[in-house]
Amino acid sequence: MSTETQPSDVISKEKPTPAKKPEEKPVDLPAFEKGLSDKITEKFGDKIEVAFVKEDRVRINVGRENVHEVAEFIRDELNFDHVESVSGVDFPKDKEIEVVYHIGSYTDSSLSRQILVLATRAQREDNPIPGKDATILPTLRNIFYSVEFHEREIFEMFGVFFEGHPDNRRLLLPEDWADLPPLRKDFDSRGR
Amino acid sequence: MTTEIMPGLALQKVDERIMTLNVGPQHPGSGHMRIVVQIDGDYIVACDPDPGYVHRGEEKMAEYRNYITNIPHLERPVIHDSCNVLYPYVLGAEELLGIEVPERAKYIRVIASELNRCIYIMYWLAIYGIFLGHSTMFMWPAGDREFLIDLMEKMSGARVTHAHFVPGGVRNDLPPNFEDVCLRQVNYFEKRIKEYAAVFYDNPILISRTQDTGVLSKQDAIRLGTTGSVLRASGVDYDLRVKEPYDVYDELDIHTNVMKEGDAYARSRIPWLDMMESCNIIRQALQKMPKSGSVRTKLKPNPKTKVPATVYKRVESGRGSLGCYIVSDGKTEPYRLKLSVPSFRNLIALPYLLKGEKLGNMPSVYWSLNYWPVEADR
């Protein structure tokens, strides 16, 4: 069942990601997942925000300046070892582009059901020049090797430049694509 | 060595010793993708996979269609495995829309998903056989697939693109007498694929071409985030049907096939063992399935999610773990839909496996990755 049922979420209609702290809820949280989120909260305090804790999924929102050290902590202390999926989500109203890492673990059998969702946001430009504007995030490739192709895909589809990524070329799009990054909301595929 | 002078136009210094070779995108040995390999004599020194030739923008299309009309186009990335590629989307949509699924529908889904896994693997095996020059291994799987395709046709009405899973259950109930026909066909199918050992898997020519070729160590398999048969061939015991059971997989007894060699032979053998396991699962599911009952919870037309929420669901497909991340803003369409596909995740291993191999080993390594180019491009 979709988890966030508190009324405050419904008000923020334009913000699809519910970003409310679970401490305010009277719902009993799953213990193991709560333990994971507590470890991160204990270490980083105000720098991160626990968006939700539900069965098998914990979501952490973090600012772009701290995403590197949080990811390092997740790998070294919490034993997560690979990234399953990297998704971009465009929020034109917030002038931000969200990049969401779904991190899993093969080595630790107690974590094999878990997915830790790490979300960060990059500044969004109305007239993007991919790679040469302020839409920049630090890369996580030196922490999780498996993000290599995923971050290349985000770069071409959203124009988010990953600083420090060794290979920021196009992947899926044609080499001579000169339009907007196509998964942004202002790229309307109808009538093209 | 390259300097980009304009977007898409690069100058490259020609090396006297290294030759750059474009394999694909229309070469039959590469599938619908291009692999740029640099060779020194007969040895590959660098490899740069270039997917995207069949990119169709499935994720963008999903933002313009509601939760029901998204079904037929989302199965297009892998039409042979269409039930499995829809599975995480359907599970995610059910969670967002808040629908309960009838028990009988869950079992039908498990049967359809396992049948589809076998259909996909048979197709992959046929391709793997023909690219190693083994024509019999093209003919046999391509023919034996038909038994299961006929079963899926009986179940859903379509031979390949079924669009059978919908949020709330499955589209149609099983036809009368399906259980008996299914049991008979699956038993025969299992007997038939066991014969492949003599002609293919124990064949010394296949073994000499694939053993110790393209070895992926366990550490690298984990570090690169590979999944499915590639991961299990490298000795990691990870199958989502066991580790994170969805629908009724937790009520079934499933054995995970693991090999620790990590070479092309292990990667080609694991899917074959998986098919036998699928036959076991189908037999168990047929036995435990409720004999009657509803198969679909009726939805309102144009259903809306109740609150803005996100969901990430994953299933074990024929190639590995397949995830679907849906962001909903409470409207009838998804705000953003991301398919995290196993082919795309396994592709990252290709440059590592090919480096130092002979050019002639490229097909046996490349196809052993269980890679489906159309799925990786989405």
Full residue range of the structural domain in which residue A123 is found? 18-127
Chains A and B: how many Cβ contacts under 8 Å?
136
**Residue A134 falls inside a structural domain:** no
Least confident of A2-11, B254-263, B317-326: A2-11
**Residue A93 falls inside a structural domain:** yes
- Among B152, B78, B46, B67, which residue's Cα sits nearest to residue B109? B152
**Residue A32 falls inside a structural domain:** yes
- By CA distance, what is A104's nearest residue in B? B225
**Residue A163 falls inside a structural domain:** no
**Residue A34 falls inside a structural domain:** yes
Q: Which pLDDT value is given to residue A5?
A: 46
CATH of the domain at A88: 3.30.460.80
**Residue A28 falls inside a structural domain:** yes
**Cis amide linkage into residue B77, ω under 30° from 0:** no
pLDDT band at B1 (very low <50, low <70, confident <90, very high): low
Residues from chain B that touch A16, judged by Cβ atoms under 8 A, are 308-310, 327-330, 335-336
Instruction: Check pLDDT > 80 for residue B156.
Output: yes
Q: Tokens in use for A44?
A: 């980083």
By CB neighbour count within 10 A (0-12 exposed, 13-18 middle, 19+ buried), where does A145 fall?
A: middle
CATH of segment(s) B72-301+346-351:
1.10.645.10
Distance from CA of B321 to the nearest CA of A (A): 9
Distance from CA of B154 to the nearest CA of A (A): 33
Instruction: Check pLDDT > 80 for residue B307.
Output: no
Give chain A's domain count: 1
Domain assignments of chain B as residue spans, ordered by start: 72-301+346-351
Strands A96-104 and B43-50: unpaired
> With an 8 Å Cβ cutoff, is B348 touching chain A?
yes
d(CA B103, CA A103): 31
How many percent of chain B have pLDDT more than 90?
17
Distance from CA of B123 to the nearest CA of A (A): 25
Q: What CA dihedral angle connects B286, B288, B289 and B290, to 10 degrees? A: 140
**In sequence order, what are the residues at sequence separation of 6 or more whose Cβ sits closer than 8 angstroms to the Cβ of residue B92?**
B311, B312, B313, B324, B325, B326
pLDDT band at A10 (very low <50, low <70, confident <90, very high): very low
Per-residue pLDDT tens for B7-25? 656 777 777 788 888 887 8
CB atoms under 10 Å from CB of B57, counted, come to 16
**Residue A7 falls inside a structural domain:** no
Per-residue pLDDT tens for A86-118? 998 988 888 889 899 999 888 888 888 888 898
Q: N- to C-terminal Cα distance for chain A? A: 37
**Residue A77 falls inside a structural domain:** yes
Q: Which residue in A2, A174, A190 is closest to B309 by CB distance?
A: A2
Per-residue pLDDT tens for B332-377? 888 989 998 998 888 888 888 888 888 888 888 888 888 888 888 8
Q: N- to C-terminal Cα distance for chain B? A: 31
Q: A59, A82, A168: which to substitute to probe chain B, counting the most B Cβ within 10 Å?
A: A82
